[in-house]
Chains A and B, each alone.
Chain A
Amino acid sequence: MHHTEKHNFEPKIIAFVCTWCTYAGADLAGTSRMQYPANVRVLKFPCTGRIDPVFILKAFQQGADGVLVSGCHPGDCHYIAGNFHARRRFAAFRKLLEFVGVDLGRLQFSWVSAAEGGKWVEMVTDLTERVRGMGPMQEFRELALEEQWSGAIDTPELREAYNSI
């Protein structure tokens, strides 16, 4: 029973990508008819420098099982240095998430250029399969249903909702 559940689990992967490189790379993968898991939901940003760490947090809170952040290779940023700034910010943020207990296996950063449709497919596939192996991201989902004791109401419907995750 448990085994089938795991097999049926389709992870939700959120990809935050820059429009100039990775989005174009993903587009190339599509126009080249390459196959990659449909688990990924792509969100396009002008630059990785625009991707606030709070977006990653929000994605997990809203039910993502894995998050991919991807942009231009160093030196290729359309805005010259957006990805350099992003690189530092994410280097720090992943340490923080790790420290509060998020398994970093669920968070992937990559550089995927407009010409690297194949690398995009590889990134998405790897992360999806890895997260599939890890199972659903329970921590944030459970947290979202928790209340301070004084506000908690123990009704059958709520218990059912809690047990269903």
Chain B
Amino acid sequence: MHKYISENNLKALLDHLIADGKRVIAPRMDAGTPLYGPLADSAGIVLDQLPRRSAKETFFPVCEDIMSYDKEGQQVTLRDVSPANFPETILVGVRPCDAAAIPVLDAVFSWDYKDEFFLERRRKTTIVGLACTQADDACFCTAVGLSPADPKGSDLFLTPVEGGGYACETFTDKGEALVNNHGELFAEPNGTPALPLAEPQTEKFDLKKVKAWLDDHFEDPAWDSIAVRCVGCGACAFLCPACHCFDIVDEGTEKAGKRRKSWDACGFWKFTHHASGHNPRDLQPKRYRNRIMHKFKYYDDKFGQTLCTGCGRCIRFCPVGIDIAAIVNEISKK
């Protein structure tokens, strides 16, 4: 279904949804930083920049309780968190690199174990994507086979058009329902041309060649020169729309506590640290190798997809300037 919505009507749509008791998650300023979060009203929405963290946290929170316990004497009471309580959500203003990562994550969270914490949030969320008209030299969605107008992962996709407003296209029942429930805010497409799309300048990767090299080069001196500078923080993984490793810890007191699931990162020294004291990834290059291997080989082996959508966040915010686009490009030429 093709429609048109003006900027004011988009805001009106968000306000209607909020008034209806729906949770509207969109980019907004949070203590000076552009981040996705619940909108109190449409005025707070910020659509002119890529949020610092990706949209994945809507489905895969930074930290969430998955169980709680109480202990009184010998009596232990366990309480599960019920995914039924997750709110119905509209996720708005999602750039193609963020939206495309969501179906990539579906694969892992619904594989051998069905992660209801992820999947239930996923079911209850309608995703409104937004095409990009601006890119910087860290953007590389086109290099991994996506584009600034790729609707992958979006239920409803908006493309800014000349003279303001957006061309809307629905891709799923959820997207259609959103349009149909608020039909008065949408108009028929008027044929206005779309604004020129962003053009990321990064060379397209030959992902097959990259994978072929990775298949044979688990051990290679290149890893040392690539990652000797890596300081072992989790900024890349935590900002990444596709990284999905998590840790589970129990926190609380002897009497009561919570079991919590929170983001984890393969760059951390502790990530593979065994209880015995042994660490199979004892040095940073081995940890960074895992990051590349997981994104361009392991995930492909298992799910036939690449675990990178080219958002460029890890490039912009790596404390030591590690550039995954440069690294993968170099690998593809080996």
Contacts and interface: CB of A to CB of B under 8 A. Distances in A.
Contacts of A151: 61-65
B105 to A, nearest CB: 14
B38 interface: yes
Interface in A136-165: 147-151, 153-155
B58 A150 contact: yes
Interface in A92-113: none
B85 A155 contact: yes
Contacts of B57: 148, 150
A153 B67 CA distance: 12
A146 to B, nearest CB: 11
Given A62-B253, A147-B63, A148-B63, A153 B58 contact: no
Interface size class of B (residues with CB under 8 A): 10 to 19
Contact of B61 (A62, A150, A154, A155): A150
Given A62-B253, A154-B85, A155-B85, A149 B65 contact: no
A149 B81 CA distance: 16
A151 B56 CA distance: 12
A138 to B, nearest CB: 19
A161 to B, nearest CB: 11
B303 interface: no
A150 B70 CA distance: 24
B118 to A, nearest CB: 12
B317 interface: no
A148 B64 CA distance: 8
Nearest to A148: B62
Interface in B34-56: 37-38
A31 B254 CA distance: 32
B269 to A, nearest CB: 21
Contacts of B38: 149
Interface in B263-308: none
Contacts of A150: 57-58, 60-62, 64
Contacts of A62: 253
A150 B87 CA distance: 11
Interface string B244-273: 000000000100000000000000000000
B85 A153 contact: yes
B86 interface: yes
A148 B38 CA distance: 11
A155 B79 CA distance: 13
Interface string A68-89: 0000000000000000000000
Contacts of B37: 149
Interface of B: 37-38, 57-58, 60-65, 81, 85-87, 253
24 contacts: A62-B253, A147-B63, A147-B64, A147-B65, A148-B61, A148-B62, A148-B63, A149-B37, A149-B38, A150-B57, A150-B58, A150-B60, A150-B61, A150-B62, A150-B64, A151-B61, A151-B62, A151-B63, A151-B64, A151-B65, A153-B65, A154-B85, A154-B87, A155-B85
Interface of A: 62, 147-151, 153-155
Given A150-B58, A150-B60, 14 more contacts: A147-B63, A147-B64, A149-B37, A149-B38, A150-B61, A150-B62, A151-B61, A151-B64, A151-B65, A153-B64, A153-B65, A153-B81, A153-B85, A155-B85
